[in-house]
Chains A and B, each alone.
Chain A
Amino acid sequence: MLIAILLLVVSQAGGQDTLAPFAPPTNIIAKDAPWDAGNKVIITWRPSIDKDSLAYYEIWRATPPFTKYERIGIIGSTDSLYEDHAILEDTVVIHEVTPGKQYRYKLRGVTPDGRFTILSEPSNIAIPRIQAFNIYRLNVLIAFILFTALFLYSIERSKRGFKFFIRRIPGLDALDEAVGRATEMGKPVLYSSGLNPIDSISTIASMCILGEVARKIARYESRLIVPNIDPIVMTVAQEVVKEAYLSEGKPHLYREDDVFFLAAQQFPYAAGISGIMVRERPATNLFIGYFYAESLILAEAGNMSGAIQVAATDAIMQLPFFVAACDYTIIGEELYAASAYLSGRPDLVATIKTEDWFKMILLILTYLGSIIVLLTKSNLFLTIFKVTGGS
């Protein structure tokens, strides 16, 4: 019994319940985080005059009637800002900030040996509010409105009969040659739309190109093989190819078995396509979409089989591999321009011009910004164009 009492005294002497002769932080101010979903409160304070003797501060929070405070977090003794927001643990909310509710905060310092200061004076009452618009994204909104206006203007001009000039894209021009070669050799064309699912914009672009390619193949009465890694992409690809054969008046040539699900994972997919290249010996391989590390496996296997190869991707890291192993590589934004280029529809072609105009605007702003920042050393320009990420 005596030992237990002694242990208790010793533990209290060096533990959390011992007061330290240091001052707590002062001037605690709590305010609603601006332009958010009303789920964050920002707390600021003036650090303790004894901050060098403290290890960290504890943040305590209370809701009406503000009689009971609970500890919600800790922060370094030299810091002077804390953000109180929801905390998730394995998707379960263990701490939250509710919009419209009143919150008050207190702080206290804790020494390296576990002693603590008294609690500070309470902060003002902060009420988090829901905002309808995130002002930090105003610059993105302005850019988006400008882009959309240019987009609609270019379409309107094309409707009035204006013909926009688009430079030649050799990779897309080569598609005719590639499909013709496959027809002459009596061999199929292989089309891979990459690894991304249908919610990826590059996969949607790939489906649009697939439609144009399938139309050419149907015209030449050749065979098209489309192995897929995603069942939704497979379903879309089946519809797109079927429609292409129908629109060319050759629905009897469409084989559903040729647009199929191959594998659900990267390397089985790559191995499966390599197998098709060796067994079926396609005369033309088209890799159009978003690719990862399997790009070189596919392109080299195709290269060894002697097929003519055209790749189109916006995966920057994979571009060198396709350039090295394919006959033609359609780079980056050309992937998105391809369906417009191939279809030749004036309204679609006009939209490509929007990108060029906007690129020019960005180029001017980049030069202007560089000059302003170099001459004035002001961060104002950078702040205006800063894009706030996340949600």
Chain B
Amino acid sequence: MRRRGPLTLAFIAGVAMIIQFFSPHPILRTVYTEALNWYRIISAFTFMLGLISLMRSHITKVTHKRAGWGYSIVTIVSFIVMTILGFTYGTGAGTPFDKMYEYVYAPLGATVFSLLAFYLASASFRAFRARNIDATILLVVAIIIMLGRVPVGSFIRWGRFSLPGLAEWIMAYPNMAAQRGLLIGIALGAICMSLKIILGIERSYLGRGG
């Protein structure tokens, strides 16, 4: 039962979702909407599990003085402060919670995001080294695309041909063709995976029940 129960549930839910895709009947629409609502409700409850896990891992780090335990103190204190502020003053616009979010949390997130610029530079440097024919083609195409998409690129012309036009052609044809090839493969892979799960052939995601 421990194994059959989840597999039966997965089968019923999977088949119901397939049927609702092909039928516009309001009852099936309701089943679909309700299933999504249930998922949202379950997700909300599982955040408590996430919270317990988060606190336990950081408290363990602090008590065992593991590497970087100081950061764990920052996490625990931040969590307590934000919880107190949220419950005491609410989370609406202009509240201390909102200000902490806007002036501390959001800029920190933006800072991590901005690291991308530096990482892009270092990754591009490695990727664009002309070590072999493939890497050289990549380098040449990258130069065409980059130059074709900045204002100075529009000054580079050979008769009727322009660099932005060439860049556009590369994006619209070879690049798009490759992307569509990948997308078809991904879609078929996803359908195959779904069928394996619905029919109970793939069970490893069930953990001990599988």
- Does B90 touch A at the CB level, under 8 Å? no
Q: Please state if B195 and A148 are interface contacts (CB–CB under 8 Å).
A: yes
Q: Please state if B204 and A337 are interface contacts (CB–CB under 8 Å).
A: no
Q: Please state if B56 and A257 are interface contacts (CB–CB under 8 Å).
A: yes
- Interface members, chain B 159-200 (any A CB < 8 Å): 179, 182-186, 188-197
**In whole Å, how far is A362's beta carbon from the nearest beta carbon of chain B?**
6
Q: Please state if A151 and B207 are interface contacts (CB–CB under 8 Å).
A: no
- Does A131 touch B at the CB level, under 8 Å? yes
**In whole Å, how far is B3's beta carbon from the nearest beta carbon of chain A?**
12
Against A, the Cβ 8 Å flags (1 = close, 0 = not) of B16-38 are 00100111111001001000000
For the complex, give the distance between the alpha carbons of A246 and B208 in Å.
Answer: 9
- Interface members, chain B 88-114 (any A CB < 8 Å): 108-109, 112-113
- Does B42 touch A at the CB level, under 8 Å? yes
Given A134-B23, A260-B57, verify A243-B208 contact (CB < 8 Å): yes
Chain A positions within 8 Å of B194 at CB level? 201
Given A133-B23, A261-B49, verify A352-B116 contact (CB < 8 Å): no
For the complex, give the distance between the alpha carbons of A204 and B210 in Å.
Answer: 13
Q: Please state if B49 and A275 are interface contacts (CB–CB under 8 Å).
A: no
For the complex, give the distance between the alpha carbons of A323 and B128 in Å.
Answer: 12
Q: Please state if A336 and B123 are interface contacts (CB–CB under 8 Å).
A: no
Is the contact region of chain B dominated by helix, strand, or loop, or is it mixed? helix
- Does B136 touch A at the CB level, under 8 Å? no
**In whole Å, how far is A34's beta carbon from the nearest beta carbon of chain B?**
10
- Does A354 touch B at the CB level, under 8 Å? yes
Q: Please state if A207 and B50 are interface contacts (CB–CB under 8 Å).
A: no
Chain B positions within 8 Å of A300 at CB level? 119, 122-123
Q: A151-B192, A235-B46 are in contact. List 20 more A-B contacts (CB 8 A).
A: A37-B29, A131-B24, A133-B23, A204-B205, A207-B205, A208-B205, A211-B205, A231-B50, A246-B208, A271-B112, A275-B71, A279-B68, A296-B120, A296-B123, A297-B119, A300-B119, A316-B186, A331-B182, A351-B201, A355-B188
Residues of chain A having any CB pair with chain B under 8 Å: 35-39, 99, 130-134, 137, 140-141, 144, 147-148, 151, 155, 197, 199, 201-202, 204-205, 207-208, 211-212, 228, 230-232, 234-236, 238-240, 242-243, 246, 257, 260-262, 264-268, 270-271, 275, 279-280, 293, 296-297, 299-301, 314, 316, 319-321, 323-325, 331-337, 339, 343, 347-348, 351-352, 354-355, 358-359, 362, 391
